[in-house]
């Protein structure tokens, strides 16, 4: 991965809006919309926030952490979404014209119910949950993000995977007109990722459609993305348009780009250094001191059994 050091354009801690202030602004906006006096405030809001729909009545999850949340401002302005450029502030700047509606997902491969499904039909039967997860990027920074989503397993079961489906492959939308870096050869587009079937079916694996109680901002992977909290962040593929049930381990974008650096599994592992930097510690965005990275990003109790018998230093 192209590792980036802080640039003047990156968000500074002093610019980060606490959630309470952000929510106050939204409350104000609601009132202001009625009185017609709110327009002057809109430029203060991060991209997408002014138009975002809010989700009500989210189920709480026992899988949520009670660690302090990373601010909405950081979560939505310090991003990796290479389709919009390699810099952390490129996604918020360059995703304004991306259109996440209407949206559909093609489902194919080894399953009883392949087809092209409208986004709404995928989501509608499910109860939405809030899941507060740690996100650990392979670049050694981390965040705590309150996602809104559905366990991926619940959605996949509806497609009735066959016993021959050993892996699930995912693909990001290819729209060079709306995603400017897709006109370059920065990566091999479209971005693709994959999970072993038992990883995909694990209750921690989330299909996320929002964060901070509102619909997914473009820069975070609108309208629907994966969140796999015990793996490095690049496994959590954004803006998904295809889900394929396959027999063999599918190709993945970062592995194709630098196979010696990024394996298929990419579980968070402080004992396995990246060839160019240590993975022992991480910088939690918003904090000053670096903290220890935990095995499986702190989710070992839930997921370590999936890798029993595997040598995590050679199979990574």
- Looking at beta carbons only, is 161 or 298 nearer to ligand MTE? 298
Site for ligand MTE contains 233 (CB under 6 A) = yes
* x/- track of binding to ligand MTE for residues 55-94 (CB under 6 A): ------------------------xxxxx-----------
- Looking at beta carbons only, is 172 or 279 nearer to ligand MTE? 172
- HSE-CB at 78 with a 13 A cutoff on CA atoms is 28
Q: How far is the CB of 75 from ligand MTE (least distance, A)?
A: 7
CA pair distance 199, 205, nearest whole angstrom: 7
Q: b/e string for 195-213 if b means 16 or more Cβ within 10 A?
A: bbbebbbbebbbbbbbbbb
Site for ligand MTE contains 181 (CB under 6 A) = no
- According to DSSP, the residues that pair with 227 across neighbouring strands are 206
The verdict on whether omega for the bond into residue 223 sits within 30 degrees of 0, i.e. cis, is yes
Site for ligand MTE contains 191 (CB under 6 A) = yes
- Looking at beta carbons only, is 135 or 206 nearer to ligand MTE? 135
Site for ligand MTE contains 224 (CB under 6 A) = no
Say if CB 213 and CB 146 are below 8 A apart: yes
Closest residue to ligand MTE, judged by C-beta, is: 233
Best CA proximity match to 133, nearest among 252, 302, 316, 269: 302
In the region spanning residues 115 to 144, those forming contacts with ligand MTE, defined by CB under 6 A, are 135, 137
Residues that bind ligand MTE (CB under 6 A): 79-83, 135, 137, 172, 191, 220-221, 233-234, 236-239
């Amino acid at each position: 991965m192209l590792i980036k050091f802080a640039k003047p354009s990156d968000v500074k801690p002093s610019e980060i809006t606490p959630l309470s202030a952000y929510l106050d602004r939204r409350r104000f906006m609601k009132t202001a919309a009625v009185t017609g006096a709110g327009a002057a405030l809109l430029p203060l809001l991060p991209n997408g926030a002014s138009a975002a729909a809010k989700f009500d009545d989210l189920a709480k999850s026992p899988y949520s952490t009670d660690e302090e949340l990373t601010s909405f401002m950081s979560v939505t302005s310090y991003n990796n979404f290479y389709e919009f450029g390699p810099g952390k502030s490129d996604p918020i700047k360059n995703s304004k014209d991306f259109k996440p509606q209407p949206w559909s997902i093609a489902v194919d491969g080894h399953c009883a119910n392949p087809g092209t499904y409208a986004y709404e039909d995928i989501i509608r039967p499910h109860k939405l949950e809030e899941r507060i997860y740690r996100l650990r990027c392979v670049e050694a920074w981390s965040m705590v993000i309150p996602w809104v989503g559905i366990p991926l397993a619940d959605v996949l079961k509806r497609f009735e995977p066959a016993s021959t489906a050993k892996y699930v492959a995912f693909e990001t939308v290819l729209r060079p007109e709306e995603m400017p870096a897709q006109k370059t050869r920065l990566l091999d587009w479209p971005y693709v990722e994959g999970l072993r079937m038992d990883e995909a079916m694990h209750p921690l694996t989330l299909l996320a459609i929002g964060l901070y109680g509102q619909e997914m901002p473009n820069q975070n992977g609108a309208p629907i993305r994966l969140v796999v909290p015990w793996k490095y962040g690049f496994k959590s593929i954004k803006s998904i348009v295809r889900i394929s049930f396959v027999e063999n381990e599918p190709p993945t974008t970062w592995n194709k780009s630098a196979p010696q650096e990024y394996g298929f599994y990419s579980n968070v592992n402080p004992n396995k250094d990246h060839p160019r930097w240590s993975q022992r510690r991480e910088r939690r965005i918003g904090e000053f001191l670096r903290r220890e990275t935990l095995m499986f990003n702190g989710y070992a109790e839930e997921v370590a059994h999936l890798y029993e018998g595997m040598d995590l230093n050679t199979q990574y």
